[in-house]
């Protein structure tokens, strides 16, 4: 059998092109797992990483496996190295794409795979490979639909610099508070899924780059699928090609786009072949149906408004920092965005229109502003107390983390206090039947009392 399989295309093929699937063994050991390694300009580390992974799987992995190197438009010798590896090593193939994007590379391979389980790893193999079998075992058994490695769960061991640590924690905290995500680590490059599940979700995933797997996970939760998390040991690669700031902005745009799709009811995917209580067809997730009345509609609206407000506040903060200190810049940027945020949530999240009680709502919203101010100011003060001269991006990251916590508290306060239905209704207007029951026997008294009641209710 030939081990060199190369293609050069950006279109998704109708059928997989690759090595013929090996014959399986009884007892489930014949299940095939395909591991994709996306690579962009990785000529220096690709060969060593693929050989290391190949040796590890050959020696320890109990299931059938295949490694696919997905070169997505590299401009160095990555594609030549990938071809050489495919020619040299059994169960290795290489696929070339003419456009960049990790999501595009994974979509290209996963959509045409004939494996039972598809997975991917970052090319630097930062994650300890001993976590790979615990990652895919629940998928092979049918216990779970997707599986992710988590650097933020209990039991994980992580070695990385403070910049990536802060950004990662802020991003995942924002996902949990703004998008109601329940998984702990969206960015770890160590994920897997049952192939039929992944292929059913892929048409509904729009992103082609770094937000691709986050969107896939959000879609899986929205569809009611089970996501298994594995604590991992992870060591940062100092030679990473990731542009942190561009990736962060792309992630924020991706969250805003997914939030809009949630608002319009267009974020879902029909997934067949599920079993048990999870087999409920397409549509919102099981957890969505268990939310309190109204929250299922309110959460995505609040998330989008909160995301826009956060970006606006960060822009204002950076601009004000040019002329003033961090604490004053934080306070002024929060004041400006809180007024707009309260007004937007009043109108769009909780459906309150008109000027009635608008001033009171703004004053009460100002109290929630004090909560956000306290958290973000405390976070900045703690940062400056522990770091002598933090850079501007570290200040911004600390603010994002504090604001994410304040955002969740703000939503709960708005729902349970400021815009609680009982407070919004005020004195209830009696209906016609109640007025008739309460009317006195005297014929002349009824109209006057009914009018008084109407006037009182109007006040």
Catalytic residues: 213
**Could you give the CA distance from residue 259 to residue 219 in angstroms, rounded to a whole number?**
11
Tokens representing 30?
């014949």
What does 264-301 look like in DSSP terms, one character per residue? Answer: TT-------S--GGG---SSS-HHHHTSPTTHHHHHHH
Alpha helices in 345-431 (DSSP H): 358-386, 392-413, 421-425
**Could you give the CA distance from residue 166 to residue 235 in angstroms, rounded to a whole number?**
15
* CA distances for 282 relative to 172, 183, 335, 436, angstroms: 26, 20, 42, 49
Q: How far is CA 114 from the centre of its chain?
A: 27
In contact, 147 and 136? CB cutoff 8 Å: yes
Q: 258: closest CA among 249, 267, 250?
A: 267
**Could you give the CA distance from residue 303 to residue 256 in angstroms, rounded to a whole number?**
8
Which residues are within 8 A (CB) of 53 and not within 5 positions of it... i.e. 6 or more apart? 35, 37, 67, 121, 125, 129
For 98-159, what is the HEC assignment?
Answer: CCCCHHHHHHHHHCCCCCCEEEEECCCCCECHHHHHHHHHHHHHCCCCEEEEECCCCCCEEE
Which residues are within 8 A (CB) of 99 and not within 5 positions of it... i.e. 6 or more apart? 10, 72, 73, 208
Residues 414-421: contacts with CB under 8 Å, at least 24 apart: 414/302, 414/345, 414/349, 414/350, 414/365, 414/368, 415/295, 415/298, 415/350, 417/364, 418/361, 418/364, 418/365, 418/368, 419/345, 419/346, 419/349, 419/350, 419/352, 419/361
End-to-end CA distance of the chain: 84
Tokens representing 366?
């100002």
- 183-209 burial code (b ≥16 CB/10 A, e <16): bbbbbbbbbbbbbebbbbbbebbebbb
């Amino acid at each position: 059998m030939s081990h060199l399989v190369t293609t050069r295309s950006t279109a998704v093929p109708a059928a997989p092109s690759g090595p013929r699937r090996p014959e399986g063994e009884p007892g489930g050991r014949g299940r095939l797992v395909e591991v994709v390694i996306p690579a962009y300009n990785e000529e220096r580390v690709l060969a060593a990483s693929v050989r290391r992974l190949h040796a590890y799987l050959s020696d320890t992995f109990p299931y059938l496996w295949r490694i696919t190197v997905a070169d997505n438009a590299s401009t160095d010798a990555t594609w030549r190295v990938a071809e050489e590896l495919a020619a040299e090593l059994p169960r290795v193939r290489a696929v070339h794409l003419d456009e960049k994007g990790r999501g595009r590379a994974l979509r290209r391979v996963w959509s045409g795979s004939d494996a039972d389980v598809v997975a991917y790893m970052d090319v630097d193999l930062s994650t300890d490979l001993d976590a790979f079998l615990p990652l895919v075992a629940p998928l092979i058994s049918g216990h779970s639909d997707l599986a992710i490695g988590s650097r933020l769960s209990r039991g994980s061991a992580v070695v990385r610099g403070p910049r990536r640590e802060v950004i990662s924690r802020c991003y995942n905290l924002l996902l949990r508070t703004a998008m109601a995500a329940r998984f702990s680590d969206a960015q770890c490059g160590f994920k897997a899924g049952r192939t039929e599940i992944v292929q059913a979700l892929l048409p509904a995933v729009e992103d082609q780059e770094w937000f691709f797997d986050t969107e896939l996970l959000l879609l899986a939760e929205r569809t009611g699928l089970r996501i298994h998390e594995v604590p991992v040991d992870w060591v940062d690669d100092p030679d990473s090609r990731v542009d942190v700031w561009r990736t962060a902005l792309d992630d924020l745009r991706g969250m805003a786009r997914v939030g809009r799709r949630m608002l319009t009811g267009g974020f879902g995917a029909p997934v067949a072949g599920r079993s048990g209580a999870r087999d409920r067809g397409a549509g919102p997730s099981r957890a969505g149906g268990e939310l309190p009345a109204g929250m299922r509609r309110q959460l995505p609206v609040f998330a989008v408004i909160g995301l826009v407000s956060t970006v606006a506040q960060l822009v204002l903060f950076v601009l004000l920092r040019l002329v003033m200190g961090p604490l004053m810049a934080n306070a002024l940027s929060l004041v400006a965005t809180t007024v707009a945020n309260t007004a937007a949530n009043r109108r769009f999240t909780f459906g309150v229109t008109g000027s009635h009680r608008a001033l009171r709502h703004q004053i009460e919203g100002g109290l929630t502003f004090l909560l956000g101010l306290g958290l973000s100011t405390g976070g900045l003060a703690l940062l400056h107390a522990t770091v002598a001269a933090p850079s501007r991006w570290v200040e911004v990251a600390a603010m994002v983390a504090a604001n994410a916590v304040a955002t969740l508290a703000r939503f709960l306060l708005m729902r349970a206090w400021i815009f609680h239905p009982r407070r919004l209704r005020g004195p209830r207007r009696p209906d016609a039947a109640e007025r008739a029951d309460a009317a006195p026997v005297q014929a002349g008294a009824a109209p006057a009392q009914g009018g008084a009641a109407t006037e009182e209710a109007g006040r």
